[in-house]
A = this chain, B = another copy of it.
Amino acid sequence: MRHLSIFANLQPERLVNIPFRPIVTKYKAGEALYFQGATANALFTVRSGIVKITKSLADGRSHILYLQSKGSLLGWDSFVEETYSQNAIAVTDCEVCRLPEHELNELRRSDLELDNAILHRWVDSMRKAENKMLELSIKKGPEKLATLILDWCAPYPPGTWVDLPLTRGELGETLGLTVETISRFLADWRKRHLISEQHHQIRIDNIEALEEIARR
Contact = CB atoms under 8 A, between A and B. Distances in A.
Interface of A: 55, 57-59, 61-63, 65, 76-77, 79-80, 82, 85-86, 115-116, 118-120, 122-123, 125-127, 129-134, 136-138, 175-176, 215-216
Given A63-B138, A65-B134, A122-B126, 9 more contacts: A59-B215, A77-B123, A79-B122, A79-B123, A85-B127, A126-B129, A136-B136, A136-B176, A137-B175
How many of these chains are in the complex? 2
Contacts of A58: 215
A63 B122 contact: no
A179 to B, nearest CB: 14
A65 B138 CA distance: 12
Contact of A176 (B55, B86, B138): B138
A63 B134 contact: yes
Contacts of A126: 76, 122, 125-126, 129
Contact of A133 (B77, B82, B133): B133
A76 B122 contact: yes
Contacts of A55: 130-131, 133-134
A214 to B, nearest CB: 11
B137 A63 contact: yes
A130 B65 CA distance: 7
5 contacts: A59-B216, A76-B122, A82-B123, A119-B122, A129-B129
